[in-house]
Amino acid sequence: MMVMSIAVILQSAWISDDAYITLRTSDNWLNGYGLTWNAGERVQTYTHPLWMVLLSGVFLVVRNGYAAAMLLSLIVSFTVIAVFLYEQSDDWAILLLGGGVLLLSKAFVDYSTSGLENPLTHFFLLVFSIVLFRSEFPVSRRTLFTLALVAGCAAFNRFDTILFFLPAILYILSSHFKSARGIGLTVLGFLPFILWEIFAVFYYGFPFPNTAYAKLNSGITTHLIFA
């Protein structure tokens, strides 16, 4: 199954044009111009801060934007598949069914590369699910913190993915942690995201990427945007 997964993803591997928006910021950062789109203009054009940081690290090593985006995407995607297969190795029915669903999903296969943050989102979703479904209820404080940390890192990777994780965390808080301690552990788990938001407001002047303000509440009706 792992060999088949690698073959399918490699056969469909590509880098989207949007990935080069992030790569331009990474290139400016690595060349001393800061996290900018144009040197001297602090605008957050990328939507995935954590992915941008990781991509910049790979870019620093390989010195080629296309190779960096492809390499990071493949490493994270293959890690996701390997962890999933390992977790289901004792149940061949789930292994084959789950693996088959993923490989037949055009969205999963196509965006396992592309140079965008999707592979890292897949990783956080998988880790969150493993921790959640392995837990005994009522969950421990350590489990709550771990779940919050994974969700916080996912939000740091891309803010709107928090909607995947929030229902489970709110349920745990409402049913098992009605004290301030539970809220404190959750806030502590979200600390990476909170620190990034503080930095973004200080550095860019806004908490969210420029694309959010350009696309939301623009005054243009939805049917015209997607026409």
Residue pLDDT, tens place only, 161-172 = 999 999 999 999
Per-residue confidence (pLDDT) for residue 122, from 0 to 100: 97
Write down the number of H helices and E strands in the chain.
Answer: 13, 0
Q: What is the mean pLDDT of residues 55-83?
A: 97
85-107 residue pLDDT tens: 988 878 788 788 888 888 999 99
pTM confidence score: 0.92
Per-residue confidence (pLDDT) for residue 65, from 0 to 100: 96
Higher pLDDT, 154 or 217: 154
The answer, yes or no, to whether residue 211 has pLDDT greater than 60, is: yes
Higher pLDDT, 177 or 61: 61
The upper half-sphere exposure of residue 31, i.e. CA atoms within 13 Å in the direction of its Cβ, equals 13
Residue 152 — very low, low, confident or very high, per pLDDT cuts 50/70/90?
A: very high
Q: Closest Cα to residue 82, out of 123, 42, 47? A: 123
